[in-house]
Amino acid sequence: MIKHSPRRQHGFTLVELSIVMIIIGLLIGGILKGQQLIENSRINATISQVKAFQAATNTFRDSYGGLPGDIFSAPAMLPNCNAGTFCVGGNGNLKIGATINYYEDPSGDNENTQFWKHLALADLLGGITPGAAPSAPEWGKTHPSAPLLGGFLIEHAVGAGDAWSPSMNRAERNWFKMRQNVTGNDAGGHGEHPITPRVGKIIDTRIDDGMPGYGVVQAHDTGPTNDAGCEGPTPYDESFTSGNCIMFFLLETK
Protein backbone atom coordinates (compact mmCIF):
# COMPACT_ATOMS: atom_id res chain seq x y z
CA MET A 1 0.00 0.00 0.00
CA ILE A 2 1.26 3.42 -0.91
CA LYS A 3 1.21 5.85 1.97
CA HIS A 4 0.62 9.56 1.29
CA SER A 5 2.20 11.98 3.64
CA PRO A 6 -0.13 14.76 4.84
CA ARG A 7 0.05 17.96 2.79
CA ARG A 8 1.99 20.61 4.59
CA GLN A 9 0.08 23.84 5.36
CA HIS A 10 1.99 26.99 4.54
CA GLY A 11 1.24 30.26 6.38
CA PHE A 12 2.37 33.75 5.59
CA THR A 13 5.98 34.46 6.27
CA LEU A 14 7.04 37.58 8.12
CA VAL A 15 8.32 39.01 4.86
CA GLU A 16 4.97 38.47 3.17
CA LEU A 17 3.09 39.99 6.10
CA SER A 18 5.43 42.97 6.04
CA ILE A 19 4.76 43.50 2.34
CA VAL A 20 0.99 43.36 2.93
CA MET A 21 1.23 45.86 5.79
CA ILE A 22 3.32 48.20 3.64
CA ILE A 23 0.75 48.03 0.84
CA ILE A 24 -2.11 48.72 3.27
CA GLY A 25 -0.17 51.63 4.74
CA LEU A 26 0.46 53.09 1.30
CA LEU A 27 -3.22 52.79 0.41
CA ILE A 28 -4.32 54.49 3.63
CA GLY A 29 -1.67 57.17 3.19
CA GLY A 30 -2.79 57.77 -0.38
CA ILE A 31 -6.42 58.12 0.68
CA LEU A 32 -5.54 60.56 3.46
CA LYS A 33 -3.29 62.54 1.15
CA GLY A 34 -6.07 62.67 -1.42
CA GLN A 35 -8.53 63.94 1.18
CA GLN A 36 -6.03 66.57 2.25
CA LEU A 37 -5.55 67.71 -1.34
CA ILE A 38 -9.31 67.94 -1.87
CA GLU A 39 -9.76 69.95 1.33
CA ASN A 40 -6.92 72.31 0.43
CA SER A 41 -8.39 72.78 -3.03
CA ARG A 42 -11.74 73.75 -1.51
CA ILE A 43 -10.06 76.15 0.91
CA ASN A 44 -8.22 77.83 -1.95
CA ALA A 45 -11.44 77.98 -3.98
CA THR A 46 -13.25 79.62 -1.06
CA ILE A 47 -10.57 82.29 -0.68
CA SER A 48 -10.58 82.91 -4.44
CA GLN A 49 -14.36 83.17 -4.39
CA VAL A 50 -14.33 85.86 -1.69
CA LYS A 51 -11.69 87.81 -3.60
CA ALA A 52 -13.83 87.53 -6.74
CA PHE A 53 -16.81 88.97 -4.83
CA GLN A 54 -14.62 91.88 -3.73
CA ALA A 55 -13.40 92.54 -7.27
CA ALA A 56 -16.90 92.27 -8.75
CA THR A 57 -18.29 94.72 -6.19
CA ASN A 58 -15.59 97.29 -6.90
CA THR A 59 -16.05 96.91 -10.65
CA PHE A 60 -19.80 97.41 -10.19
CA ARG A 61 -19.21 100.53 -8.12
CA ASP A 62 -16.83 101.95 -10.73
CA SER A 63 -19.35 101.24 -13.49
CA TYR A 64 -22.61 102.28 -11.84
CA GLY A 65 -21.59 104.68 -9.08
CA GLY A 66 -23.02 102.63 -6.21
CA LEU A 67 -23.05 99.28 -4.47
CA PRO A 68 -24.95 96.31 -5.87
CA GLY A 69 -28.23 95.81 -4.06
CA ASP A 70 -28.05 99.33 -2.65
CA ILE A 71 -27.98 101.39 -5.84
CA PHE A 72 -31.21 103.40 -6.10
CA SER A 73 -31.51 103.58 -9.89
CA ALA A 74 -30.90 99.90 -10.64
CA PRO A 75 -33.95 99.40 -12.92
CA ALA A 76 -32.85 102.30 -15.11
CA MET A 77 -29.20 101.32 -15.26
CA LEU A 78 -28.83 97.54 -15.12
CA PRO A 79 -29.67 95.35 -18.11
CA ASN A 80 -32.84 93.31 -17.58
CA CYS A 81 -33.45 94.77 -14.11
CA ASN A 82 -37.24 94.72 -14.07
CA ALA A 83 -40.27 93.00 -12.58
CA GLY A 84 -39.65 89.96 -14.74
CA THR A 85 -36.33 89.29 -13.03
CA PHE A 86 -37.59 90.42 -9.60
CA CYS A 87 -34.99 93.18 -9.68
CA VAL A 88 -35.43 96.38 -7.68
CA GLY A 89 -33.21 99.20 -6.48
CA GLY A 90 -32.03 100.03 -2.99
CA ASN A 91 -31.89 103.21 -0.93
CA GLY A 92 -28.38 104.31 -1.87
CA ASN A 93 -27.02 104.67 1.67
CA LEU A 94 -23.96 102.42 1.03
CA LYS A 95 -25.24 99.84 3.52
CA ILE A 96 -26.30 96.46 2.14
CA GLY A 97 -29.64 96.03 3.88
CA ALA A 98 -30.59 97.39 7.27
CA THR A 99 -27.93 97.50 9.98
CA ILE A 100 -28.57 94.18 11.67
CA ASN A 101 -27.82 92.43 14.91
CA TYR A 102 -26.79 88.93 13.98
CA TYR A 103 -28.69 87.85 10.89
CA GLU A 104 -30.67 89.07 7.96
CA ASP A 105 -33.36 86.93 6.36
CA PRO A 106 -32.41 86.91 2.68
CA SER A 107 -35.90 86.20 1.37
CA GLY A 108 -37.92 88.99 -0.28
CA ASP A 109 -36.74 92.04 -2.17
CA ASN A 110 -34.28 93.37 0.40
CA GLU A 111 -30.85 94.66 -0.53
CA ASN A 112 -29.12 91.59 0.88
CA THR A 113 -30.62 89.42 -1.86
CA GLN A 114 -30.62 92.10 -4.56
CA PHE A 115 -26.85 92.46 -4.06
CA TRP A 116 -26.23 89.12 -5.77
CA LYS A 117 -28.91 89.70 -8.40
CA HIS A 118 -27.43 93.07 -9.39
CA LEU A 119 -23.96 91.55 -9.77
CA ALA A 120 -25.34 88.72 -11.89
CA LEU A 121 -27.40 91.04 -14.13
CA ALA A 122 -24.30 93.19 -14.61
CA ASP A 123 -22.51 90.02 -15.78
CA LEU A 124 -20.05 90.24 -12.89
CA LEU A 125 -21.12 87.10 -11.03
CA GLY A 126 -21.82 83.54 -12.06
CA GLY A 127 -23.17 80.61 -10.12
CA ILE A 128 -26.68 81.96 -9.53
CA THR A 129 -29.82 82.45 -11.63
CA PRO A 130 -30.23 86.21 -12.21
CA GLY A 131 -34.00 86.00 -12.68
CA ALA A 132 -34.70 83.70 -9.72
CA ALA A 133 -37.51 84.74 -7.39
CA PRO A 134 -36.10 86.02 -4.07
CA SER A 135 -39.14 84.65 -2.27
CA ALA A 136 -37.55 81.19 -2.53
CA PRO A 137 -33.89 81.69 -1.55
CA GLU A 138 -31.56 78.85 -2.42
CA TRP A 139 -27.81 78.31 -2.65
CA GLY A 140 -26.70 78.30 -6.26
CA LYS A 141 -29.90 80.02 -7.33
CA THR A 142 -30.46 83.30 -5.47
CA HIS A 143 -27.20 83.19 -3.48
CA PRO A 144 -23.80 81.73 -4.41
CA SER A 145 -22.92 78.36 -2.94
CA ALA A 146 -19.56 77.79 -1.23
CA PRO A 147 -16.96 75.10 -2.03
CA LEU A 148 -16.94 74.12 1.67
CA LEU A 149 -20.73 73.52 1.78
CA GLY A 150 -23.39 76.12 2.51
CA GLY A 151 -23.05 79.44 0.78
CA PHE A 152 -22.64 83.19 1.05
CA LEU A 153 -24.86 85.97 2.34
CA ILE A 154 -24.05 89.65 2.78
CA GLU A 155 -25.06 91.92 5.66
CA HIS A 156 -24.28 95.21 7.35
CA ALA A 157 -22.97 94.64 10.87
CA VAL A 158 -23.88 96.67 13.94
CA GLY A 159 -20.26 97.19 14.91
CA ALA A 160 -18.14 95.90 17.78
CA GLY A 161 -19.83 93.11 19.69
CA ASP A 162 -23.39 92.15 18.83
CA ALA A 163 -25.99 90.27 20.84
CA TRP A 164 -25.40 87.02 19.02
CA SER A 165 -21.65 87.07 19.33
CA PRO A 166 -20.62 89.67 21.94
CA SER A 167 -16.92 88.93 21.56
CA MET A 168 -16.79 89.84 17.88
CA ASN A 169 -15.26 93.12 16.81
CA ARG A 170 -16.79 93.57 13.37
CA ALA A 171 -16.65 97.11 12.04
CA GLU A 172 -20.00 98.65 11.17
CA ARG A 173 -19.58 97.87 7.51
CA ASN A 174 -20.72 95.33 4.93
CA TRP A 175 -19.58 91.74 5.45
CA PHE A 176 -19.85 88.54 3.47
CA LYS A 177 -21.06 85.66 5.62
CA MET A 178 -20.46 81.97 4.88
CA ARG A 179 -22.79 79.58 6.68
CA GLN A 180 -24.84 76.43 6.17
CA ASN A 181 -28.47 77.60 6.11
CA VAL A 182 -29.65 80.15 3.56
CA THR A 183 -32.47 81.57 5.73
CA GLY A 184 -33.03 82.19 9.43
CA ASN A 185 -30.49 83.02 12.10
CA ASP A 186 -27.07 81.58 12.83
CA ALA A 187 -28.29 79.06 15.38
CA GLY A 188 -27.53 75.38 15.11
CA GLY A 189 -25.83 72.53 16.83
CA HIS A 190 -22.26 71.36 16.51
CA GLY A 191 -21.52 70.13 13.02
CA GLU A 192 -24.26 72.18 11.35
CA HIS A 193 -22.08 74.79 9.64
CA PRO A 194 -19.63 74.72 6.74
CA ILE A 195 -16.22 74.46 8.36
CA THR A 196 -14.30 73.22 11.37
CA PRO A 197 -12.23 75.49 13.63
CA ARG A 198 -9.07 74.04 12.05
CA VAL A 199 -10.16 74.96 8.53
CA GLY A 200 -11.46 78.31 9.77
CA LYS A 201 -8.04 79.07 11.18
CA ILE A 202 -6.37 78.15 7.88
CA ILE A 203 -8.65 80.51 5.93
CA ASP A 204 -8.29 83.28 8.49
CA THR A 205 -4.50 82.95 8.57
CA ARG A 206 -4.11 82.97 4.79
CA ILE A 207 -6.11 86.18 4.46
CA ASP A 208 -5.80 87.91 7.82
CA ASP A 209 -4.50 87.43 11.38
CA GLY A 210 -5.72 83.92 12.23
CA MET A 211 -7.91 85.14 15.13
CA PRO A 212 -11.68 84.62 15.04
CA GLY A 213 -12.61 87.84 16.85
CA TYR A 214 -10.47 90.40 15.03
CA GLY A 215 -9.55 91.72 11.61
CA VAL A 216 -11.08 91.54 8.16
CA VAL A 217 -11.84 87.82 8.51
CA GLN A 218 -13.76 86.77 11.61
CA ALA A 219 -15.83 83.84 12.82
CA HIS A 220 -18.29 82.82 15.44
CA ASP A 221 -19.92 79.56 16.37
CA THR A 222 -23.55 78.62 16.75
CA GLY A 223 -24.68 80.95 19.51
CA PRO A 224 -23.67 83.28 22.35
CA THR A 225 -23.42 80.45 24.90
CA ASN A 226 -22.56 77.56 22.58
CA ASP A 227 -18.78 77.30 22.72
CA ALA A 228 -17.69 75.41 19.63
CA GLY A 229 -14.15 76.57 18.94
CA CYS A 230 -14.76 79.55 16.66
CA GLU A 231 -15.39 82.38 19.10
CA GLY A 232 -13.02 85.23 19.96
CA PRO A 233 -11.23 86.72 21.73
CA THR A 234 -9.49 83.35 22.19
CA PRO A 235 -7.86 81.57 19.21
CA TYR A 236 -9.60 78.91 17.15
CA ASP A 237 -9.92 75.74 19.21
CA GLU A 238 -8.92 72.87 16.93
CA SER A 239 -9.98 70.26 19.49
CA PHE A 240 -13.49 70.70 18.07
CA THR A 241 -13.54 68.61 14.91
CA SER A 242 -17.08 69.17 13.60
CA GLY A 243 -18.33 71.95 11.33
CA ASN A 244 -19.08 74.67 13.88
CA CYS A 245 -17.83 77.89 12.27
CA ILE A 246 -19.67 80.71 10.52
CA MET A 247 -17.14 82.89 8.70
CA PHE A 248 -17.25 86.62 7.97
CA PHE A 249 -15.22 88.48 5.33
CA LEU A 250 -15.14 92.28 5.24
CA LEU A 251 -16.30 93.78 1.95
CA GLU A 252 -13.44 96.16 1.27
CA THR A 253 -14.62 98.74 -1.24
CA LYS A 254 -12.62 101.49 -2.91
All residue ranges of the chain with pLDDT < 70 are: 1-12, 14-16, 32-34, 99-107, 159-169, 187-191, 222-227
Q: What is the pLDDT of residues 41-94, one digit of tens each?
A: 899 999 999 999 999 999 999 999 999 999 999 999 999 999 999 999 999 999
What lies within 8 Å, CB to CB, of 70 at 6+ separation is 90, 91, 92, 93, 94, 95, 96, 111, 115
Could you write out the three-class secondary structure of the chain?
CCCCCCCCCCCCCHHHHHHHHHHHHHHHHHHHHHHHHHHHHHHHHHHHHHHHHHHHHHHHHHHHCCCCCCCCCHHHHCCCCCHHHCCCCCCCCCCCCCEECCCCCCCCCCHHHHHHHHHHHCCCCCCCCCCCCCCCCCECCCECECCCCCEEEEEEECCECCCCCCCCECCCCEEEEEECCCCCCCCCCCCCCCECHHHHHHHHHHHCCCCCCCCCEEEECCCCCCCCCCCCCCCCCCCCCCCCEEEEEECCCC
pLDDT of residue 30: 72
In the chain, the amino acid numbered 186 is D
pLDDT of residue 190: 60
Closest C-alpha among 98, 107, 102 to residue 186: 102
pTM higher than 0.85, yes or no? Answer: no
How is the beta sheet containing 217-220 ordered, strand by strand? 99-100, 151-157, 174-179, 246-250, 217-220
pLDDT of residue 252: 86
- Do residues 147 and 46 make contact, with C-beta atoms less than 8 angstroms apart? yes
pLDDT of residue 163: 45
pLDDT of residue 90: 94
